Amino acid sequence: MGRNAGLIFFGFVLTFLLLPLTALAAELPALTGRVVDNAGIIDAATEATLTQKLADFETKGSDQIVVATIPSLDGEEIEPYANRLFRAWKLGQAKENNGVLLLVAPNDRKMRIEVGYGLEGTLTDLHTKLIIENDMVPAFRAGDFSGGISKAVDDMIMVLEGNPEELEARGERNQQPPFNSDDLFFTIFIAIWAIIFFGGLAASILPPIFGQKIGPGRYRWLGMT
């Protein structure tokens, strides 16, 4: 009797501990197509274009890209959610593990590109970071979810087709600090001030040392008096 009571108590404690984890596991949407816009942030024309583009890309090779949007993660972190969704949908070919999931949760302002093991050497963490930071984030801030997602898909396809150079070059350009006219004005001001100060200092010190004295307090040096 005591042993059974202990097992019941242990089960109750275990359930209590696992309950928060269960609550944080957001529900997964059904795979209804190559674009699953459950958040409703992609306009109809863009969704149709994306669907056709992804179908053509998959037909040309064996890699598969799926776009998914959900309103919220319900408290779950996007990394484990994207991984669960990727595995639940079984993206890519099983033997190749060559699927890619582009996931956006607009209410949480989070996005992620989940890449199958078979494509990690091609669509690297650097590439996904550049795509998110340079394509999606600026567009999303401007309220253009359709444009940001469409541009991200274009860049993913470009990299997976073996042409990452443009994306990498664009990322390097975006990392360069913008021209600042205030900084230029300050630099010129300091340079002029330094020339006047040190020029005057040199004119008062050097002639008595290296010049020819021609009168009280008067010297000739470098052709000047």
Determine the pLDDT at residue 185.
Answer: 60
Instruction: For residue range 40-66, list pLDDT tens digits in order.
Output: 999 999 999 999 999 999 999 999 999
Please determine, for residue 75, whether its predicted confidence score (pLDDT) is greater than 50.
yes
Q: Tell me which of 199 and 179 has the higher pLDDT.
A: 199
Taking the alpha carbons of 69, 75, 78, 82 in that order, is the dihedral positive or negative?
Answer: negative
CB-based contact 149:111 (threshold 8 Å): no
Instruction: For residue range 113-169, list pLDDT tens digits in order.
Output: 999 999 999 999 999 999 999 999 999 999 999 999 999 999 999 999 999 999 999
Please determine, for residue 2, whether its predicted confidence score (pLDDT) is greater than 90.
no
17-31, 132-146, 164-178: segment of lowest average pLDDT: 17-31
Q: Tell me which of 201 and 174 has the higher pLDDT.
A: 174
Q: Tell me which of 191 and 27 has the higher pLDDT.
A: 27
Determine the pLDDT at residue 146.
Answer: 98
Domain ranges of the chain: 24-175, 181-220
CATH architecture classification, 24-175: Roll (3.10)
Q: pLDDT averaged over the chain?
A: 83
Please determine, for residue 99, whether its predicted confidence score (pLDDT) is greater than 90.
yes
- pTM > 0.75: no
